[in-house]
Structure 1
Amino acid sequence: MVFKRLLGSMGVGGPAMDTALDLATAVPGGSLTGEVRLTGGRADFDIEHITLELVARVEAESDGGEHEGALAFQRFQVGGGFRLAEAENRSVPFAVTLPWETPVTQLHGQGLGIALGVRTELGIVGAKYKGDLDPLAVGPLPAQEAILEAFGRLGFGFKSADLEYGRIGGTSQQLPFYQEIELTPAPQYAHQVSEIEVTFLANPSGLEVVLEADKRGGLFTSDHDALSRHVVSHEGVTHRDWNAVVGSWISQLLEAHTARTPYTPYGHGGDHATHTHKVDHGHRSGPGMGTVVAAGAAGLAVGVVGGMVAAEAVDEIGDFFEGDEGDEEGEEA
């Protein structure tokens, strides 16, 4: 995984940078390693800083409706403070830790339609220059994978996934957005719910799992959402009956919300469930990927309709930055 950009704003003979990531697939809270390769130009340049930027395509609601845009949600300074001599080749290795809430972009190698990328910023004598985006693939943590596979074994299917700008009330959410993985209901629940959305908020000790059921309204009732929250540990993932655990979550979610339930405060600790609430953005599901595929023999069926794959979506983010920040290149910092 490499991206490369000639610093044309500095004129012919400026330095070039080429950033290579070591891992094909990272995980939330895991290490991201690689190196930034610099090639000197036709003169010496003082490199003030080298910064990596994590960028995601995020949906947001405003008075004008729903919008999509690119959001830089984490920055790491990985080098700087040296002079790059004329025609010099220099590599700057880096090792950074991804945020625990980094979105999952794929399951069993199958993309979920989430656009996530890495970009390098080079600071030279008071000016900053940004390179192109490169897609970043992030796989699930063991607990996340186990929960999604349990949904699949219980008959749920993958519908779509997106990133929503905003916060989920009452949680320990750290990033300014959260990921929603939208699932079609198993046949036995189809008369009760139109879809279930799963949000993972990972941290060093475990996961907060927020479930949102888009319930079907009857003749005398209106559609409304049911919400619940569960906390699970990273430990002992392989020793739990996840089919039973997830099945009980679904039953509790649907049974406990025959009517709207007001928000109740809760604490933290071991595995437990409670009611919570999300920020109401009136959002819709994001696009999918076009075909139905199997994510593992017993895993979640990844079936999406009519959208773009992750790599294409990252290209779209790149276009957004080119249009939005082009004037920034070459400006004095």
Structure 2
Amino acid sequence: MDVLLSIPLISAVLTPSLSTSVNILFFYATWSALVLSHKPEAIHATSLLVLRVIFWLAPSLLFLAFDFGIPSVAGSIKFDGAKRLPRRPLKLIGLATFNMLLVVAVEAGVSWLYTLATGNTLYKVSTTLPLPWQMFKQTAILFTAREMLTYYIHRYLLHEGALVPLLTRLHTSYSHGEPVCALQLYADHPLPLVIYHLVPVLLPAFLLHPHLLTYLAFTLLTTIEGTLVTSGYSIVPGIFLGGIARRTARHYASRGTANYGAWGILDWAHGTSKGKDVMDDAQDEADKHNLKERSSAKLNDGAGMVQDGVDTLRRSTRKRTPKKN
């Protein structure tokens, strides 16, 4: 319990009102105390559990209660409408919660076995905080690797089942057997779910060895993203996040014939997008911020400045030119 209460990443998220300098100082002090008093494996496992309970399980149960409590309102903001609700919600809650705990346990076990076999931790755990640029760069690498691995695993192992037909059958019957709802992120058979959730994040971690705080920040972002885009709601905020939610809903509605990637970039590249793709989202974002109009205005302003400069130069030249008798 003391490990859970001391996780600095949770403290930083839940105490945004503090000033930046005080928040960073508090974060550093808490993290240092945590590293010096607990084993890295315990910090890793407990952090993963707390992040997923707070940012997936709790909001998912609230979303599900909303769907069943006020179906008329929920149906108006869901892609499938109110008539598409889980038939056995308690069983779904049990399966998804078990799978979440299984993913945490397997990931923690892999990290422990890596330490046992190599003598080093899979993630860098020290009192030194990662530099912002290093953290940004490693997080970008993790997201890129996840996009690639998620697409190919999802498409070729879980749907186009020529490689492993058993995984395809299990994933299709479990994950596509119910309508999209708030628990969809972990609503699958345990075997394909562990492969689908862990390989895209653990394989890059083996190669990159990021700081544990960087990996936890990555886990936090992907957990929030997954919770929102698999909720089935059509009002997910943001054009890009809303686009991912729309493509996710279409993936389940088509029973896995399109939209395999996390962000849709490789779907666009391979032609497996259904509905508006990621490039359409980028265009919508540009239109939202009137980038074309702003660019034209900037171009016109620049052209006007150049023309003013030319006119000024001409006038000064005429003044210096002597008149002929």
What TM-score, normalized to structure 2?
0.23
Structure in which a larger fraction of residues adopt strand: 1
Give the structure-1-normalised TM-score.
0.22
Pick the structure with more helix per residue: 2
